[in-house]
Amino acid sequence: MNSRIALLVVVATLLGLFAAGGLAAAHAQYVGSTPPAASAPLPTAPSQVTITLSEAVQSGTGTIRVTNATGSRFDVPPVTDSSDGRTLSESLTAGGPGIYTVTWTATSAVDGHFTAGSFSYCVQDANGTACGTLPPPLSGGAPVSPLEVALRSIGFLGLAIAFGVGIMANFMWIPAGKDPDARGSRAYGVAFPVLLNVGRIASFGFIVSMAGLFALATGLEGNSAAEALKASSYVQSVAVRLALGIGLFAFLSRAFAQSRGGNPETAAWTIQAAIFAALAAVVAGSLGTHAAGVPALTALGIAADAAHFGGIGLWFGGLAGIVSIRRFFREPEAAPLARIVLGRFSRMAAYAVSLVLAGGIVLAVLLVGTLDALVTSPYGWVILAKVGLFAPMLALGAYNRYRLVPKTAESERPTEAVRRIVGNVRFETSLGIAVLVLAGLLTSMTPAAAVPAGPVGPFALDLVKDGLKVHSEVYPPPTTVGAYTLTLLLNYASNGTPFYLARNGTAQFTLTDPPRPPVKENLSGPHGNPSNHFSITTTALSSPGVWKIDLNFRRLDSFDLRVTFYVTIKAGG
């Protein structure tokens, strides 16, 4: 199979990944509330407000602010979390008739992403007078950075290869040594360390990816890192996988050193320890996924995710291992070894495919929900792209097993059959890389089943200054005088990666038409995952007119960043 075609497949997938990165957003979405958003007028003011989100939030990160048209606050802290972490509650003081706006912020415990939103409700007066049309609920957050998606993809690739190489070494290569012809070939002792070294390098890539994700989630700042580690199942999952990755690397490095003497059997126990560490990392990763956050079906989601990725690791990791030692299999004297190893791998691949398909179907039901969502949502489109790449992998695997592997035993020239198998495996591996890159993108997106119906989206503005892009969002969309929540995200303008070196943010609000003295307030942050988020809830927009908002951030690497944008308030409430 032409290697240039395989390269094009991978390049096209990577281009699609970064093109879609701006659309991908994995956040806790607004699901419902009490009182309901934009509902019929309430006869009396509620004594409590509750907000239910699509994912659990980190304990202590939720905020709720309830204001009327004049900006007066009616919320009474603290905000409390439900037992499953998906519902935020806060008491309210007694209020009169009118429209009330609820603004909320939270950090997801599933993926560590910051999110915010707003909704409104109406309390009728003594005459039963309604309040008019209320705005729909809004929720949103930062787009997932290409850096995060890349780190997730590298993690998937590294763990899959390390796991698959360990399985091949222990259950295919070492047993092949029982055959005298296979053991007598040069490749049996020489290629084995090469195979283990590939797994060792892959496990190091897994460590790097987990360390990067941990830094993105916590900012590596002492107190915030400790708090996130305590409150977020996602951060806990990353930390555990980082530790297991270090163990996996140590075991494979030890096995590599043991095998260099030319006797693969001496490394058997060390390889088995590496397999155990890889399996534990697969399970730990499943504990911190969106599937694990599905209400009432947590165990099923974890099992399906572990089975799905475990099958991918068995299959793709083995493919990558074969590609790494393909030149040894082409030697005529290595034909018996190649026949046994490839035959065992082909049989194992059938079970791996069953795990991939079974786990994938369950995950699709849990995370996509409906056929309509599969074909109309960005999340569904990425799944369809994965299926489109997986299908030719499956076809090539079946062709290798039922047509080419038997020829390694029957043909007078088994090396020709091995050459064709290796060529197909190279193409399968390229497709597998593309599939795992898309998997990294999927884990960074909001599952289609979690996206609420109706309008979801903020009022947003973007500015570029001093090489940085400042993305600002206002909740609710600015229309009348009242309380507003502003969220600000700092990224490098050149590549979209998060900018972490900003501190001490301030916002100055100045009414320009008609003029009014400025009001300066401090921003909260940086916080969230990644730690490039600032926010503020303010009543400074207290009069109709054009408001100038001057933002200032202290940069640790340069002079202060100063940007300005304008918001128009059209009415007094």
Residue 450 DSSP one-character state: G
- Per-residue pLDDT band at 278 (split at 50, 70, 90): very high
Q: Tell me: pLDDT of 171 over 50.
A: yes
Q: Which domain holds residue 554?
A: 458-573
Q: Could you report how far apart the first and last alpha carbons of the chain are, in Å?
A: 67
Lowest mean pLDDT among 79-88, 214-223, 268-277: 214-223
Residue 453 belongs to some domain of the structure: no
Instruction: Return d(Cα 177, Cα 191) in angstroms, integer.
Output: 13
Tally the residues of the chain.
Answer: 573
Please check whether residue 22 is in contact with residue 143, taking contact to mean a CB–CB distance below 8 angstroms. Answer: yes
Give the residue from 158, 175, 137 showing the smallest Cα distance to 244.
158
Q: Tell me: pLDDT of 296 over 70.
A: no
- Return phi, psi of residue 372, to 5°: -60, -40
Domain boundary among the residues 422, 448, 474 is at 448
Q: Tell me: pLDDT of 142 over 90.
A: no
pLDDT of residue 225: 65
> Is the domain of 385 the same as that of 420?
yes
**317 vs 408: which has the higher pLDDT:** 317
The per-residue pLDDT for range 327-378, each reduced to its tens digit, is: 888 788 888 888 888 888 888 888 888 888 888 888 888 777 777 778 877 7
Q: Tell me: pLDDT of 292 over 70.
A: no
Residue 109 belongs to some domain of the structure: yes
The per-residue pLDDT for range 23-51, each reduced to its tens digit, is: 545 567 778 888 887 666 777 888 899 98
Domain boundary among the residues 430, 448, 466 is at 448
> Is the domain of 477 the same as that of 537?
yes
Residue 205 belongs to some domain of the structure: yes
Which are the contacts of 37, defined by CB distance < 8 A and separation ≥ 6? 30, 119, 120, 121, 134, 136, 137
Mean per-residue pLDDT of the chain: 80
pLDDT of residue 414: 55
Q: What is the CATH number of the domain that holds 473?
A: 2.60.40.2480
> Is the domain of 420 the same as that of 543?
no
In the chain, pLDDT over 90 holds for what percent of residues?
15
- Return phi, psi of residue 534, to 5°: -125, 155
In the chain, pLDDT over 70 holds for what percent of residues?
83
pLDDT of residue 4: 53
> Is the domain of 252 the same as that of 339?
yes
The per-residue pLDDT for range 146-159, each reduced to its tens digit, is: 788 788 889 989 99
**Going by DSSP bridges, is the β-strand pair 48-53/30-34 parallel, antiparallel, or unpaired?**
antiparallel
Give the residue from 444, 403, 439, 410 showing the smallest Cα distance to 424.
403
pLDDT of residue 497: 81
> Is the domain of 137 the same as that of 149?
no
Instruction: Return d(Cα 59, Cα 488) in angstroms, integer.
Output: 22
Residue 48 belongs to some domain of the structure: yes
Instruction: Return d(Cα 129, Cα 144) in angstroms, integer.
Output: 44
Q: Tell me: pLDDT of 277 over 90.
A: yes
The per-residue pLDDT for range 310-325, each reduced to its tens digit, is: 888 888 888 888 888 8
Over residues 82-108, the mean pLDDT reads 85
> Is the domain of 289 the same as that of 176?
yes
Q: Tell me: pLDDT of 573 over 60.
A: no
> Is the domain of 121 the same as that of 244?
no
Over residues 85-108, the mean pLDDT reads 86
Domain boundary among the residues 448, 483, 502 is at 448
Number of domains in the chain: 3
Please check whether residue 334 is in contact with residue 417, taking contact to mean a CB–CB distance below 8 angstroms. Answer: no
Q: Tell me: pLDDT of 255 over 90.
A: yes
pLDDT of residue 202: 94
pLDDT of residue 127: 66
